[in-house]
Amino acid sequence: MLNIRKSNDRGVADFGWLHSQHTFSFGHYHDPEHMGFGPLRVINEDRVEPGRGFDPHSHRNMEIISYVLDGALEHKDSMGNGSVLRYGDVQRMSAGTGVVHSEYNHSREAPVHFLQIWIMPNAGGAPGYEEKHFDVESKKGRLRLIASEDGRNGSVSLRQDAAIYASILDGDDTVDYGLDEGRIAYVHVARGRVVVNGIALAAGDALKVTEEAGVTLSGAEAAEVLLFDLPY
- Domains in the chain (CATH in brackets) are 10-133 (2.60.120.10), 136-231 (2.60.120.10)
Q: What is the DSSP letter of 159?
A: S
Confidence bin at 157 (pLDDT 50/70/90): very high
Are 85 and 76 within 8 A, CB to CB? Answer: no
Residues 6+ apart with CB under 8 A from 16: 49
Residue 197: its pLDDT value, please?
A: 98
Q: Where are the beta strands (DSSP E) in the chain?
A: 2-5, 11-14, 18-22, 40-48, 53-59, 63-70, 73-77, 82-85, 89-94, 99-105, 112-119, 128-133, 144-148, 156-157, 163-171, 175-178, 183-196, 199-202, 206-209, 214-231
Closest CA to 17 of 48, 59, 60: 48
Q: What average pLDDT score do residues 157-163 get?
A: 98
- Sign (positive or negative) of CA dihedral 29, 31, 32, 37: negative
Confidence bin at 146 (pLDDT 50/70/90): very high
Q: What average pLDDT score do residues 180-187 get?
A: 97
Residues 6+ apart with CB under 8 A from 20: 12, 13, 14, 44, 45, 46, 47
Q: What average pLDDT score do residues 124-144 get?
A: 97
Instruction: Provide the 3-class DSSP secondary structure of residue 14.
Output: strand
Residue 29: its pLDDT value, please?
A: 96
Residue 58: its pLDDT value, please?
A: 96
Between residues 232 and 175, the one the model is more confident about: 175
Q: 0.95 cut: is pTM over it?
A: yes
Instruction: Provide the 3-class DSSP secondary structure of residue 138.
Output: helix
Q: Rounded mean pLDDT of the chain?
A: 97
Residue 55: its pLDDT value, please?
A: 94
Residue 167: its pLDDT value, please?
A: 98
pLDDT tens per residue, range 78-92: 999 999 999 999 999
